[in-house]
Amino acid sequence: MTINVTKPFLPPIEEYGEYLKGIWSREWLTNNGPLVNELELQLKRLLGLDHLLYLTNGTVALQLAIKALGLRGEVITTPFSYVATTSSLVWEGCTPVMADICPRTLNIDPDKIEEKLTEHTTAILATHVYGNPCDVDRIEGIARKHNVRVIYDAAHAFGTKVNGRSLFSYGDVSTTSFHATKLFHTIEGGAVVTPDPELLRLMAQMRNFGHVSPTEFGAVGINGKNSEMHAAMGLCNLKYVPDILAKRRILSSRYDEGLNGCAIRRPEIAKNCEYNYAYYAVVLESEEALVSVLDVLHLHNIVPRRYFFPSLSELKYVHDQSAPISEDISRRVLCLPLYNDLSFEEVDMICRLIKRALRY
C-alpha cells in the first residue's frame, strides 16, 4: 500500500447516490442548477460570507478575478506558490513582479511588496501558503496607500479564520480551489469571493459567456460554470468539514510530537488565526537532507511532495527575477502525508523513517 501526500475525502456513497437520483429526475446537469445554487448558499452561511460564486476550478477563479478587476501592467506577487498563481497573470497579459517571502511564515513579505511598487503596479496577488494567512492588514494598508487592488490566492485557506473572520473575506477578490486534494472538495471546482456586489455581478456574467439574459451579453465571458454532479459532492462533504478540520489538527500534533528534536522547522502560523491544518510542511536544513528523507520514504512506499518547487521566480516565462529566500526554501521544503483517514501508526512510522534518514 502506498501512502500518498494526500487522499481525497469521500462521503458514504449512499449519500452521494441520493443527490444523483435527484439530478436524474430533474435532468438538469449544468447551467447554474439547483444544487450549484444550494452549494453557494450553504458555503456563504458556513463561512459567513456575503458573496460567492462557484466555478470550474481555482485557476479559472484567478483568471476571472484578474479579468474582472481590469488588471494590466505589473502585478506584485509571490514566488512561493503553485504555478497557477503566476501563470494566470501571464495568461491574462499581466507582468508578474516577484516580491520575496518571509523565511518564517513562507508568505509574501509586505516590506518586499513596498520595495517593488512602481507607477506600473496595478495589483497585489498574494497566496496564503498552506492555509497560513498573509499579513492581510499590512497588505491591504499598502494597497489603499498606493491605490492598487488586492487578490488573495486562498486555494489552501478553506476553514482558516483571522480575527474571527473567514480568510476568504479579505481582499478585493479571494479565489479558492475545491480540487479533490483539498480538505473540502467538489472533485473539481473553485470559487471567487468578493465584498463588492457590483464586482460579483460582473463575475457572474463573465463565468457564463457574458450572458445577462438568453439573448443579451454584458461582458466578454468564458465558460466557468460547474456541474450539478460536482456540486452534489460538495454538498455531501460540507457536513463533514468540522470533523475533517479536527482530525487534521490531531494528526498535525502527532507529527509535532514524533518529529520533536529533529533538525527541521515548521512555518510560523499567523497570530489571531484559527488555522485549518491544510498541509504539514517541514523545512529541512539542506536540499541534501531533503533528498535523503525522500529516498528513505520512497523505499517504504511513502510519497510526500516537494511543494512548492521550484520557486516561481525560476520559471522560464518569468524573466530577470530574483527571490533568494523563496529559491532557498523551495529546495528544502517538503509536505508530508496528511489526510482524513491517515492513522496514528502511519504518522509514527513516517516520523521514525525521517529520523532514520536524518540519523537521529
Query: What is the C-alpha separation between 311 and 331, in angstroms, rounded?
Result: 8
What cell was used for 5?
501526500
Architecture category of domain 240-357 in CATH: Alpha-Beta Complex (3.90)
Confidence at 319, pLDDT banded by 50, 70, 90:
confident
Question: pLDDT band for position 313 (50/70/90)?
Answer: very high
Look at residue 264 in the predicted model and tell me its pLDDT. 97
Query: Rg (Cα) of the chain, in Å, rounded?
Result: 21
Q: What whole-number percentage of the chain has pLDDT above 70? A: 100
Q: Provide the grid cell at 71.
A: 488588471
Domain coordinates in residue numbering, the chain: 13-238, 240-357
Residue range 145-171: mean pLDDT, rounded: 97
**Rounded to an integer, what distance in angstroms lies between the CA atom of residue 224 and that of residue 119?**
32
Is it true that 13-238 and 240-357 share their CATH fold?
A: no
102 or 320: which leads in pLDDT: 102
CA count, 13 A, side-chain hemisphere, 312: 26
Q: Is the peptide bond before 344 cis (omega within 30 degrees of 0)?
A: no
Helix (H) or strand (E) holding 122: strand 121-127
d(CA 23, CA 305): 37
Report pLDDT for 320: 87
Q: Are 129 and 154 in contact (CB under 8 A)?
A: no
Q: What is the DSSP string of 141-205?
A: HHHHHHT-EEEEE-TT-TT-EETTEEGGGSSSEEEEE--TTSSS--SS-EEEE-S-HHHHHHHHH
Strands 173-177 and 3-4, how do they pair? Answer: unpaired
Q: Which residues contact 157 (CB under 8 A, 6 or more apart)?
A: 128, 131, 133, 167, 168, 174, 176, 276, 278
pLDDT digits (tens, 9 = 90+) for 194-235: 999 999 999 999 999 999 999 999 999 999 999 999 999 999
Q: Could you tell me which residue, 65 or 213, shows the higher pLDDT?
A: 65
- Supply the pLDDT for residue 110: 98
Q: Can you tell me the distance from the alpha carbon of 358 to that of 360, in angstroms, rounded to the nearest whole number?
A: 6
For the domain made up of 13-238, give the CATH fold: Aspartate Aminotransferase; domain 2 (3.40.640)
What average pLDDT does range 164-193 have in this prediction? 98
